[in-house]
Amino acid sequence: MRTYDSQLASLTRRSHAIISGDYMASLATADVCDVNTGHLSNGDLRVLPPVFKIYGQRRAFSGPITTLKVFDGNVLVREILETRGEGRVLVIDGGGSMRCALLGGNLAQLAQNMGWAGIVVNGCIRDVDEINGCDIGVRALASHPRKPNKKCQSEKHVPVYIGDMMIREGE
């Protein structure tokens, strides 16, 4: 069994998003922060604001990040989730919009089937019961029943900001 320090060094080298209150059920997020104050100070380790609600069956998930920036639409969300996830985490910057959902049950099921580890939505989701039945992790600000637009401005594989935190493709 590796020590916390070697586990943390491994996580830093792999540059994965680690989402949740624990990693591999033995490494609490608070412990990660406590033993990595230097990495927190220089930005190598970043903590998202505690504004996300937990959905999906995976309480913890990690993987290389794929980024999307959208405005009240989800055409690119579907396009990305139709690709093999290979354990990646999709981070969707919806600008914190509360006007409509960017992810629903069908897309969550698609993400599960395509091998995505999880999805972080800086915005809303819908079909909560369906998403909670999927074997992926989802974090979102809230649920909203309204469908997203199909025509919207979107960018993929670009740096996104959640709060004042920059998240880059591939981290």
Q: Is 127 annotated as a binding residue?
A: yes
pLDDT value at position 2? 28
**How far apart, in whole angstroms, are the C-alpha atoms of residue 69 and residue 130?**
24
Q: Is the per-residue pLDDT at 68 higher than 70?
A: yes
Count of C-beta atoms within a 10 Å radius of residue 149: 15
Tell me the pTM: 0.84
Q: Is the per-residue pLDDT at 116 higher than 90?
A: yes
Burial class for 156, CB neighbours closer than 10 Å (0-12, 13-18, 19+): middle
For the chain, list the domains and their CATH numbers.
4-42 (no CATH), 53-167 (3.50.30.40)
Averaged pLDDT of the chain: 86
Return the amino acid letter for 132.
Answer: N
- Tell me what the mean pLDDT of segment 20-27 comes to: 50
Q: Is 105 annotated as a binding residue?
A: yes
Confidence of residue 1 (pLDDT cuts 50, 70, 90): very low
Tens of pLDDT, residues 129-151: 999 999 999 999 999 999 998 87
Q: Compute the radius of gyration of the chain from its Cα atoms.
A: 15
In the chain, the N- to C-terminal Cα span, in Å, equals 25
